[in-house]
Structure 1
Amino acid sequence: MPGFCGIYRRSGPIETDFNTQIGITPTTEKELQLTQCYIRQYIIPKFEADKLFYNNKDIFYCTDGVVFNAADFYPTYNSTTLSDLLPKMYEKEGIQHIAKLRGVFSGMIIDKNENKIHIFTDHLGSKRLFYYYNPNTKDFFFASDLKIVITLMKKYGYTTQLSEDGAYCLLTFGYMLRDITLCNEVHHLEPGTILTISLNTGDIEKKRYYELKSTPYIEDSEENIIQELDKRFCQAIKREYDKDNEYGYRHIVTLSGGLDSRMTLVKGVMLGYKNIRTLTFSQSGYLDQLISQDIAADLNCDYVFHALDNGNYLLDIESPVRANDGLILYGGGAHQLSSVAMLNWAELGLLHTGILGGAAIGTYLRDICHHPVNITVLKKISYSSKLFKKIPSNLLMEIANSYDNEEICSFYERGINGIYNGYYMTQNYSEYASPGLDVDFLDYAMKIHPKMRYNNKIYAKWIKTCTPIAAQYIWEKTGSKINTPHIIGFCKRTLRYLKGRVLNQRLVSMNPFNYWYTHNPAIKEYFDNHYSSGISSLMGHPELKMDVEGLYQSGTPLEKTQALTLLEAVKWLELE
């Protein structure tokens, strides 16, 4: 993945002959060598003015990604560029200035006066950072890629052991939990977190500067809440689309038959943005295609459709695993990667999506009130339960005790650690955003009482009140318009489930895995070949190897991709 990496060694030489050109697309590199530190930035040539590599006698500041609200602070700091603004904000406000920024970013700062390095993620961890720290030698390695951290560890003689906790997370949940990775010794930096290392002592400290909450509940009328929701959503849309305009890029929006993506598009059109291209990927003839092409045509948007027919995108496991470091099942993001890879990104800007938009409005609610986290909740956010008992109980209890309720837990664990897979598939080509993940919108939406958000109640009213165009089209989830009685939508969902699971029909989802696996022999052959060639990589983990064999041989096609992702990741990361 593009981004940056760094080495801190309290003593001993720093070697810089390692490869960062390991992504799907080439990157542009810059580097900085100091007495105890080495930093390298490796970025794609998009939104380059947002990607700082700033150095003076007092501070070094490096970022990856995009910042949407820099112009809000330009007058206060007498600045006109991000590279001038952020160092000034740090000088005046310290590292906590990060909390004021909005966007999709990660970064690092070397404070040469205080002899400290800070590395940080944005509020929701949209850009991942991985790190290794040895408390004895004080060696500290960090990077946007897990692969690069592991490469540095090997270079300096450290072991890189496969994490069995991480492996079982992948085989059950389909993604990692908390800050776990597939390497025992490496962690990823949590969302909204700053990690600081003292160059004097080599000690590290982590601080959370942002954490999503769903309380206290907002006390206001439904009408006022809807208007405030709309105001904040429009602000989020403007932030994203204006970033494209700043660079002269054309807008591109993913569009399906769901509500979240259409809101990202329709609101953009309503606010006056033009020259929009849409991207849809789905099984041909399914509702995602049928609905999205009508919306795009009615809004006068260019429409690009990538047919996922036969599931042939599954015949490439290497690229998705390189894009997400093998930390999320490859079958969950490969379709998006195959779609964005076919585009010419020279004139295109951010990939505007609706990712997790519904989560803010109630997707992860299971009732009209919040409930504590328990094992049942955690099982529901996993892709497979076959090996659930292999997840250590102390890890599950730690997770359960870390969150106020099941909605916040699901948002962080399944949403950020899992659904962000689509983001990681995109970042080799461009940057990305979702208005539903704008912190100012999300903070407000999550504090609306569950009784108003459950079962999309206020979501539907908001759309009908403030974006009636979006309500005119069928909702893929229910097969009906959003004002259709709930019982009719329920019956249609049940019928579709039976068609897919019992009759194994083709037009039951955007990616009918079971149908493809049954009807496209190339997929089974590809799966079996990768399984046969990769299973020996687990010889040093006999129990895990046996469990992978069982999951692959008896699992569903999707569960097979979980097993295959692990085997490919172990090979790619060269884990022991």
Structure 2
Amino acid sequence: MPGFVTIVSNSINFNKINLNYRSLKEFKLDEITINKTYIARYTNKKFLDDKMFEETNDFFIVIEGVIFNKKDLMNSFASSSYLDLIHKLYDNYGETFFKYFKGEFSGMLYDKINGKYIIFTNETGSKPIFYYNFNSTYIFSSELKVITDILKFNNIDFNLDEIGAYFLLTYGYMLEDYTLIRQVKKLQAGNYIVLDKDKMKIHSYNTIKNQPYNSESYEKTIGKLDELFKYAVKTQYEKDDEYQYKHISSLSGGLDSRMEVMIAHELGYSNCLNLTFGQNGCLDEIVAKAISSDINNEFVFYSLDNGNYLMDIDEMLICNDGLILYSGAAHVLSALKNINFEDYGIYHTGQVGDAVLGSFINNVNINNKSKIGDGAYSYRLLDRISDVVYNIQYKYNDEEIFKFYNRAFNGAINGDWVANQFTEFSSPFLYKDFFDYALKIPREYKYEERIYIDWINKLHPNIGNYKWEKIGIRPTNSLIKVKLYNKIIRRIFFKNRIESMNPFDYWYNNNHNLKKFLYSYINKNMYLLDSYNQLKKDCISLCDYGTFFEKTQVMTLLGALRLHFN
């Protein structure tokens, strides 16, 4: 993940830091040493005027990402420059100056006057921060691998966190602040770190809430959703225009991506490339091609036939540090490597739209606790970590909030971390104003995505004219229609058609080279678990008796061990 690293230490050798291990893309690299502090950034060369690597007499500031409301803030604070804006925000609001940003960002401010460091990420944690704290050495980095490399180069011991390993083998991603390294944690969404006179403390500046406060009618709620969504799309597309970039968006047969693409079209944004990937002939290809053709967008389909892209595991793990199931976003990497991003701006997606509008809730009751295993890819080894998971879930009053902080902010972000190797990313569903409003809509409105479907059919019927890949027919709240199609028509007339974007089991059973690679990779790297007897036995069992996905969970763990320990 492109970003930055800050090291505060009297013992670390700053000359033994390697930030050039990537092969995916050339990054912009800047470095500076101030007293006992080393600061570097390694960022993609896009939207550089939104990023910052600057020193003044009072502080040093590094900002990574895009700030969608930067111009508005500069106008509000009568700022002569971006740096002047930071000065005024910090003077007025102190440690939480950054909470007025809206965008995909992270950063660090070193207050030279007071000897204080402030390290922050946005309210969804989309730009990750990992941190190491031991014996008066502090390392903060956008990538876990940067930290493990620094520790290795300086002969500092670190170990596998077996709880993190079991999270990967069950959920397919980390929970809360866990990583695969016992000595390194991840800063959670909406939090920031203050390091002041050798004392480090974590604070919260934003907590997502879903207690319904909305007393508006159903129709007015739909109208407000539409208003906020259009504003989010407009704000994110205007960032492209600000830099004179063309637009690029993912598009599939789902609702989320088509909402983002087609609302952008309604708002007048043209010169847009729609990118779709999947098995040839899948419903995602058919629907996306029809939408792009009807609104006159450019269209590129990248075929994933045979699943050979799944053999590029090590390249994929560089993108997500081995903290998320590699097969969940390897197709995104395979496709984006074929795009020349020189003329394109933000990679626009419909990330977690369904979750924001209801798919994370199982009933209409508020304070409905999450169950152990909710959101997991595999249940076979849950008993190994059930006590840990229970204690984590106990902190959350509601399943929806638990799933956002963990499944969404630690798992679904996988594809965005891939895109960030090439450019910046965004989803209007996660734009703060829309997200905060949508979460507080009454649950009975959101249950089974009722309001989402009605929003489309009432205000944007043209968007509902295409099949929804999830149910095989046009978006509808009629359970009778859905059951009729899936139980009768789909089974009889389309039983031999491969409708999935990623038919993993089909590829595994029909692509001999892929199957051979999987077993070879697992067998060649299983020795990395020799020091963890039970964990090794469990991984072997998953490989022998598990599904294709469970095999790739083991592969992700083994690949992560190669990445961080070899």
Letter matched to residue 320 of structure 2? N
Q: Does 1:479 align with 2:479?
A: no
Q: Does 1:290 align with 2:281?
A: no
Task: Tell me the secondary structure at the aligned position of residue 346 of structure 1.
Answer: helix
Per the alignment, residue 326 of structure 2 pairs with 330
* Kept in 1: contact 2:12–2:154 (CA 8 A): no
Q: Of 306, 310, 313, which aligns to 2:306?
A: 310
* Kept in 2: contact 1:506–1:512 (CA 8 A): no
Letter matched to residue 461 of structure 1? D
Per the alignment, residue 410 of structure 1 pairs with 403
Per the alignment, residue 18 of structure 1 pairs with 17
Per the alignment, residue 344 of structure 1 pairs with 340
Cα distance in 2 between the residues matched to 1:497 and 1:539: 47
Cα distance in 2 between the residues matched to 1:13 and 1:363: 46
Q: Output one character per residue of 1:144-174: Cα deviation in whole Å (capped at 9) or x when no partner.
A: 1101111222233321101100100000001
Cα distance in 1 between the residues matched to 2:88 and 2:211: 34
Cα distance in 2 between the residues matched to 1:478 and 1:12: 58
The 3 A distance-change label for structure 1 pair 332 and 506 is farther
Task: Tell me the secondary structure at the aligned position of residue 73 of structure 1.
Answer: helix
Q: Of 377, 384, 396, which aligns to 1:390?
A: 384
Letter matched to residue 194 of structure 1? Y
Cα distance in 2 between the residues matched to 1:55 and 1:468: 52
Letter matched to residue 422 of structure 2? Y
Task: Give 1:112 deviation, angstroms.
Answer: 1.0
Matches within 5 A, 1:114-263: 114-134=114-134, 137-198=135-196, 200=197, 202-263=198-259
Cα distance in 1 between the residues matched to 2:12 and 2:448: 58
Q: Of 363, 369, 388, which aligns to 1:367?
A: 363
* Kept in 2: contact 1:506–1:515 (CA 8 A): no
* Kept in 2: contact 1:266–1:469 (CA 8 A): no
Q: Structure 2: where are the runs of 5+ without partners? A: none
Matches within 5 A, 1:370-519: 370-374=366-370, 377-393=371-387, 395-483=388-476, 485-493=478-486, 507-519=498-510
* Kept in 2: contact 1:370–1:407 (CA 8 A): no
Q: Does 1:48 align with 2:48?
A: yes
Per the alignment, residue 75 of structure 1 pairs with 75
Query: If the length of structure 2 is used for normalisation, what is the TM-score?
Result: 0.97
Task: Give 1:26 deviation, angstroms.
Answer: 1.8
Task: Give 1:78 deviation, angstroms.
Answer: 2.0
Query: If the length of structure 1 is used for normalisation, what is the TM-score?
Result: 0.95
Cα distance in 1 between the residues matched to 2:410 and 2:12: 35
More deviation, 561-570/475-484: 475-484
Cα distance in 1 between the residues matched to 2:454 and 2:209: 23
Cα distance in 2 between the residues matched to 1:307 and 1:475: 20
Cα distance in 2 between the residues matched to 1:289 and 1:81: 45
Cα distance in 2 between the residues matched to 1:165 and 1:421: 20
Cα distance in 1 between the residues matched to 2:95 and 2:477: 50
Task: Tell me the secondary structure at the aligned position of residue 197 of structure 1.
Answer: strand
Task: Give 1:80 deviation, angstroms.
Answer: 5.2
Cα distance in 2 between the residues matched to 1:483 and 1:433: 27
Task: Tell me the secondary structure at the aligned position of residue 7 of structure 1.
Answer: strand
* Kept in 2: contact 1:49–1:83 (CA 8 A): no
Cα distance in 1 between the residues matched to 2:56 and 2:491: 64
Task: Give 1:81 deviation, angstroms.
Answer: 4.2
* Kept in 2: contact 1:497–1:508 (CA 8 A): no
* Kept in 1: contact 2:11–2:137 (CA 8 A): no
* Kept in 2: contact 1:477–1:493 (CA 8 A): no
* Kept in 2: contact 1:255–1:278 (CA 8 A): yes
Task: Give 1:58 deviation, angstroms.
Answer: 0.2
The 3 A distance-change label for structure 1 pair 12 and 320 is closer
Cα distance in 1 between the residues matched to 2:333 and 2:489: 27
Q: Does 1:542 align with 2:533?
A: yes
Cα distance in 1 between the residues matched to 2:400 and 2:485: 26
Q: Structure 1: where are the runs of 5+ without partners? A: none
Between Structure 1 and Structure 2, how many residues are aligned?
564
* Kept in 1: contact 2:450–2:477 (CA 8 A): no
* Kept in 1: contact 2:31–2:41 (CA 8 A): yes
Letter matched to residue 95 of structure 1? E
Aligned alpha-carbon RMSD (Å): 1.7
Task: Give 1:370 deviation, angstroms.
Answer: 2.8
The 3 A distance-change label for structure 1 pair 494 and 120 is farther
* Kept in 2: contact 1:354–1:436 (CA 8 A): yes
Per the alignment, residue 562 of structure 1 pairs with 553
Letter matched to residue 260 of structure 2? T
The 3 A distance-change label for structure 1 pair 59 and 115 is same
Task: Give 1:509 deviation, angstroms.
Answer: 1.0
* Kept in 2: contact 1:161–1:185 (CA 8 A): yes
